[in-house]
């Protein structure tokens, strides 16, 4: 793993963009400096432990806790937050249109996405991994996935990555959602579920699944979760300051333990702001 820092050229480009945005910003863009007490934050609604809207209308998960902390540092109480669902395919559009102030939604920082939006953070280093049954002792290393029934959601690249790169003989099963994969895993219809370890830990930590599953701990990829903002937004620097404070005062560790602890998730230490692990 090779961490790299944001270059001086990139920082200069961001400064130029911020000047341009200040001069000709979109009238529709969300603006937390306008005196409006409300702040709109994009999260996932369907990832337990990460970002979840519960049946009673509450919002829970690590991303929710991080976003709530950041919002408070920006001057907004929890009651000021308007949560908005940010599905993976919609995240860049939501930011570019100004529908949200920022997005914290298991949002991996990639060069392609950085062409469209800016990222604060990273605030979590996750890895692609597999979830298996707690009593399964046949899958101890990635190669053991060969000839196993491997599940992920339809359209996901995670399972295909394993099949292409790690275990070409794995039997790929694509379901409509992770909950279906979990049911199949529990009923021994499939042998393993793959996606980011943070998402897997969130599912495994749910009370109905406690003790039933375990993570493989394979670290098949590096996923640097960042908080997305509009390109050129000065919110990026403010959010970075908030994230640094969250780590320093222990709130980051507390949020990890609260949301992932029951799954025995062996998280990486809090990443350094502006350092992406390749």
Q: Provide the residue ranges of all domains of the chain, joining segments of one domain with +.
A: 3-15+28-126+223-277, 128-215
Residues 6+ apart with CB under 8 A from 150: 130, 159, 162, 163, 167, 170, 171, 172, 173, 190, 191, 192, 193, 194
Cα–Cα distances (Å) from 4 to 63, 95, 222, 275, 277, in that order, read 24, 25, 13, 5, 7
**Residue 151 structure tokens:** 């599940």
**Three-state secondary structure call for residue 204:** helix
Q: In CATH, what number does 128-215 get?
A: 3.40.190.10
- Residue 137: its pLDDT value, please? 96
Would you say 178 and 203 are in contact if contact means Cβ atoms under 8 Å apart? Answer: yes
Confidence (pTM) = 0.81
**Three-state secondary structure call for residue 195:** strand
For residue 117, report the phi and psi dihedrals to the nearest 5 degrees. Answer: -140, 165
Residues 6+ apart with CB under 8 A from 46: 52, 53, 177, 178
Mind listing the pLDDT tens digit of every residue in the chain (278 residues)?
Answer: 444 544 444 444 444 344 344 444 333 444 444 445 899 999 999 999 999 999 999 999 999 999 999 999 999 999 999 999 999 989 999 999 999 999 999 999 999 999 999 999 999 999 999 999 999 999 999 999 999 999 988 867 788 889 889 999 999 998 888 889 999 999 999 999 999 999 999 998 998 898 999 999 999 999 999 999 999 999 999 999 999 999 999 999 999 999 998 887 889 999 999 999 99
Would you say 105 and 91 are in contact if contact means Cβ atoms under 8 Å apart? Answer: yes
> In the beta sheet, which residues pair with residue 119?
228
Domain spanning 3-15+28-126+223-277: CATH 3.40.190.10 = yes
Would you say 169 and 231 are in contact if contact means Cβ atoms under 8 Å apart? Answer: no
Cα–Cα distances (Å) from 78 to 70, 113, 227, in that order, read 10, 29, 18
CA 83 from centre of chain: 16
Q: Is 138 left (phi over 0), alpha (psi -120 to 50) or beta?
A: alpha
> In the beta sheet, which residues pair with residue 173?
151
Residues 128, 273: Cα–Cα separation, whole Å: 21
Q: Given this chain, do its domains 3-15+28-126+223-277 and 128-215 carry the same CATH topology?
A: yes
DSSP E strands, 162-248: 171-175, 192-196, 213-215, 223-229
Across 224-250, b (16+ Cβ under 10 Å) vs e yields bbbbbbbbbbebbebbbebbbebbeee
Residues 227, 17: Cα–Cα separation, whole Å: 18
**Three-state secondary structure call for residue 44:** coil
């Amino acid at each position: 793993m090779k961490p790299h820092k944001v270059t001086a050229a990139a920082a200069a480009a961001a400064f130029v963009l911020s000047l341009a945005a200040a001069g000709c910003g979109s009238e529709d863009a969300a603006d937390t400096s306008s005196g409006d007490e409300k702040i709109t934050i994009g999260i996932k609604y369907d990832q337990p432990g990460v970002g979840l809207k519960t049946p009673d209308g509450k919002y829970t998960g690590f991303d929710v806790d991080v976003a709530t902390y950041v919002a408070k540092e920006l001057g907004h109480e929890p009651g000021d937050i308007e949560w908005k669902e940010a599905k993976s395919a919609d995240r860049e559009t939501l930011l570019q249109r100004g529908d949200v102030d920022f997005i914290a939604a298991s949002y991996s920082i990639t060069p392609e996405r950085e062409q469209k939006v800016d990222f604060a953070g990273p605030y979590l280093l996750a890895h692609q991994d597999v979830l298996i049954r707690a009593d399964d002792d046949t899958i101890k290393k990635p190669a053991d996935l060969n000839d196993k029934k491997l599940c992920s959601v339809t359209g996901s690249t995670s399972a295909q990555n394993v099949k292409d790169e790690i275990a070409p003989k794995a039997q790929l099963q694509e379901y409509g959602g992770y909950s279906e994969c979990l049911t199949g895993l529990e009923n021994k219809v499939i042998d393993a579920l793959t996606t980011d370890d943070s998402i897997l830990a969130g599912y495994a930590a749910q009370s109905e699944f406690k003790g039933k599953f375990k993570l493989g701990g394979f670290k098949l990829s590096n996923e640097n979760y960042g908080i997305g903002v509009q390109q050129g937004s000065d919110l990026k620097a403010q959010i970075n300051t908030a994230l640094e404070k969250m780590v320093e005062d222990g709130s980051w560790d507390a949020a990890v333990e609260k949301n992932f602890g029951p799954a025995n998730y062996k998280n990486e230490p809090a990443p350094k702001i502006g350092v992406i692990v390749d």
